[in-house]
Structure 1
């Protein structure tokens, strides 16, 4: 498997940020997809609205893998309506144990009106302590900016997400300012 992966180009280029503040939940994602040092797309849509507008999901990693995971998450949300945590845990369990799924290389940020979860292929379903989570190549930059803005400004969740993503785009060469922003009201 490692020989196969080394034959493919090194794909980078995602920053996904989730912010929850004052009953509002926002997921923002940049639009850049890069192959090595080349930007191959600047307006990719990496944030989706699921479950009839009740759930937001953003993804980082291999696009086809992420789409597969989002489809599986949608099925879990149908199986467990209004139970986001259970759907995420069930997805993470399948992702870790299923022979096909465990090869998928992506990460998800999933949120509803009351919670944010980072879901990974190693079985993690993590809920952030400070109402902010991020994944992707510029994730740490966006996360640091959002954490600083959460308590030190009167900005709302969307403004924090947009400002934090702008900071990440200034620092991370694999992140651009072409954003997709989706919001859930509390």
Structure 2
């Protein structure tokens, strides 16, 4: 599934996690409809961050399902993610959803996809959406060559992605959770 029209980046460090998302909503391949969308939000008593790439209505369906799983499993992000991924893969309706999620608490960052993937990155960095690879590459370089905080890495990497990806803009929503 090729997801266009967004960039979500999560950066984990020793102090917690920062998650950033751009604000551009596109229609097709050549029309920007909105510039200030919020694609990153707080869930489960403000202890979990979630960001989406893909179809907006599909993402909101996934947010609702994920939040229900978080309630069911007492905020355990890993268990809720695995259960959502299983349901997502097996349910005939959910399988048609065209979105991906990045979810995080203060210790864990995960990517969730409709193919049943629940992936925790080795380095605590995740980028999804059309600008995800650009933001991820910038974040890795910043992490290796600077002593910036997770929040600063996320902001600078998103700015670099916005310079390179036509589906990413500079209106960034950034949320963070500290340990």
Fold match (TM-score > 0.5): yes
- 1:42 equivalent to 2:35? Answer yes
What's the offset of the Cα at 1:47? 0.4
Do residues 179 (structure 1) and 172 (structure 2) align?
yes
Following superposition, the deviation at residue 151 of structure 1 comes to: 2.2
SS of aligned partner of 1:52: coil
**1:134 lines up with 2:130 in the alignment:** no
Does residue 161 of the first structure (1) align with residue 132 of the second (2)? no
1:15 to 7, 10, 19: 7
TM-score normalized by the length of structure 2: 0.96
Choose 1 or 2 for highest CA Rg: 1
RMSD: 1.2
- Contact 2:3–2:129, Cα closer than 8 Å, also in 1: no
Deviations 1:28-66 (A, max 9, x none): 000001122111110111001000011000000000000
Where does structure 2 lack aligned partners over 5 or more consecutive residues? none
Tell me the number of residue pairs that the alignment of Structure 1 and Structure 2 aligns. Answer: 177
Q: Kindly indicate whether residue 4 of structure 2 is the aligned counterpart of residue 31 of structure 1.
A: no
Distance between the aligned counterparts of 1:138 and 1:11, measured in 2? 9
Deviation readout 1:67-118 (Å, 9 max, x if unpaired): 0000000000000013110000000000000011011000000000100000
SS of equivalent residue, structure 2 residue 176: strand
Bigger shift: 20-29 or 158-167?
20-29
Mark the runs of 5 or more structure 1 residues left unpaired by the alignment: 1-9
CA distance in 1, matches of 2:150, 2:3: 30
